[in-house]
Structure 1
């Protein structure tokens, strides 16, 4: 049963949380945007819960708490609940009263997992962008795309041969010597075709470039509008050499259905003939950096001769600011979740959190 998103006031206490948060605090403007977005998701929340049974933690409170976890770089649910126990600002933002007990961290995690079923993170991001005051800030013609590696919550020692010995559950049998046994990987060739992680089988071995070490990773993707550098879409895939281009086409396609052409900026990893031709077939002008690494670029003079091409190449680098915040401040450099769905959910929510951090100043300037 879904819990109520109601905060008790001064019923049993002389302390009113509303008076303890200064009027100009940045979280006040953020909370207004968040509450409007959550209000539009009422139907999505109702579909996730049974009308009978014990009340759960309200999904609105769950999402507000998870946003605080991203804003303040809190690395675990246990520490988040500890902070919620004594921090009046956190209690005010989440919506729990001064006399209410903070939740148990395991109860919080169990309730949070229910939100995975309704793809709430993506709907929450869309609900923020759909608000009239936010929508006025967004460009509908010029976009940039990029991808970034998200390290999996799995050790390299968890990688075992797929055709190796199995245990009673059908999983690859663990080697002797305990959970963290000594291992010598020198000369041991491993690839995604022959090996897989027993901790997170959906993670893939991937390296950034020649001479770099391979890690168990996922790949996060973002689509940015070029006017103010806000993320308008985010998704996560398994890490491979084609994932960036496939995800880019998936994210730009819904925005390509318009009478005039739009532009998509990207780095040289997207400079392939099939990707560029696919964009042009969708009436999307490919503002892709030319890859002059010993091969012919798919970008020619019909694109590079325009002044807008140079502008797109300059602006597209701003998407790295979003990835930098998501990975360092919001803690997604190495995920704390396992499985593509759970890691992708967290990545999309932190993309929404990045927008929320930037929106108050942008809205203040535009009014």
Structure 2
């Protein structure tokens, strides 16, 4: 079931995240462009999710978080979650309210399918969408029963962009992935992030 892309503000919170972001900050324009693109994909997102079951993390939030990870050269999902716990700018860009719980899904290969890693991910409130080992898997049915798990396994890829930018900013100097399709997906997303990073200056010219 597709999760809603809505920030739930607190009744007792006086922090307006948008007001904390400087008017001329480049992420304001980038976020607007990304949101317009995501809105055009709304119908396609709906097709990918069932209308029943536990709500997933909104795909829009996952995409915004992935873009932040690339744009700010954050090396892991764990570091990204730590940043979103205290970074108001990141919370605003992703679409989280000031009191919203940070919750992400980690897609990874079978090397991450161990009881210790899965327990650590759950402790951090990260959904372990990790590929299962053929035998002695630590991934239980409560994870694999959801449509989002199968979707993650098909689209478990990173994000990327132009060769020089991808290697220095996007962390592509040494890829963490195998298989051409995964590497291709990572490169495509980095290209999008690289273009987004350049857009504010190009549009202002």
TM range (shorter): 0.7 to 0.9
CA distance, structure 2, for counterparts of residue 71 and residue 325 of structure 1:
10
Is the 2:157–2:182 contact (alpha carbons within 8 Å) kept by the matching residues of 1? no
Larger Rg: 1
Deviations 1:154-194 (A, max 9, x none): xxxxxxxxxxxxxxxxxxxxxxxxxxxxxxxxxxxxxxxxx
Q: 1:108 to 1:74 in 2, by over 3 A?
A: farther
The answer on 1:348 being equivalent to 2:178 is no
Aligned-CA RMSD value: 2.7
1:9 deviates by 3.1
- How far apart, in 2, do the equivalents of 1:67 and 1:349 lie? 8
1:310-349 pair list within 5 angstroms: 322-349=162-189
CA contact (8 A) 1:8 1:96 kept: yes
Contact 2:165 2:194 in 1 (8 A): yes
Give the Å deviation of 1:8: 2.1
Give the match for residue 70 of structure 1. 70
In the alignment, structure 1 segments of 5+ residues that lack a partner are: 123-219, 221-233, 235-321
Distance 1:364 1:70 in 2: 23
Q: Structure 1 residues 360, 340: closer, same or farther in 2, change over 3 A?
A: same
Q: Which residue of 2 aligns with 1:26?
A: 26
Question: What is the rounded CA distance, in whole Å, between the counterparts of 1:113 and 1:356 in structure 2?
Answer: 29
- Bigger relative contact order, structure 1 or 2, given CA contacts below 8 A and separation 6+? 2
Deviation digits for residues 11-51 of structure 1, max 9, x if unmatched?
A: 34121111111111110010010000001111221121111
When normalised by structure 1's length, the TM-score is 0.42
Identify unmatched segments of 5+ residues in structure 2: 107-125, 130-147
Show the counterpart of 1:114: 151
Give the aligned partner of residue 139 of structure 2. Answer: none
- Asked if the contact 1:119/1:345 (under 8 Å) is kept, the reply is no
Conserved 8 A contact 1:64-1:93: yes
Aligned residues between the structures: 168
Distance 2:150 2:199 in 1: 28
Give the Cα separation in 1 of the matches to 2:178 and 2:86.
30
Whether the 8 Å contact between 1:21 and 1:89 is mirrored in structure 2 is: yes
**Other structure's SS at 2:18 match:** helix
> Structure 2 vs 1, CA of residues 76 and 120 (structure 1 numbering), >3 Å: closer, same or farther?
closer
1:3 has 2:8 as partner = no
Partner of 1:92: helix, strand, or coil? helix
- Distance, in Å, in 1 between the alignment partners of 2:7 and 2:172 is 30
Q: Measure, in 2, the Cα distance between the counterparts of 1:74 and 1:121.
A: 12
Q: Secondary structure at the match of 1:45?
A: helix
- Do the aligned partners of 1:121 and 1:348 also contact (CA within 8 Å) in 2? no
TM-score, normalised on structure 2? 0.73
Shift of 1:90: 0.4
Q: Tell whether the 8 Å contact from 1:75 to 1:331 is kept in structure 2 after alignment.
A: yes
Aligned to 1:145: none
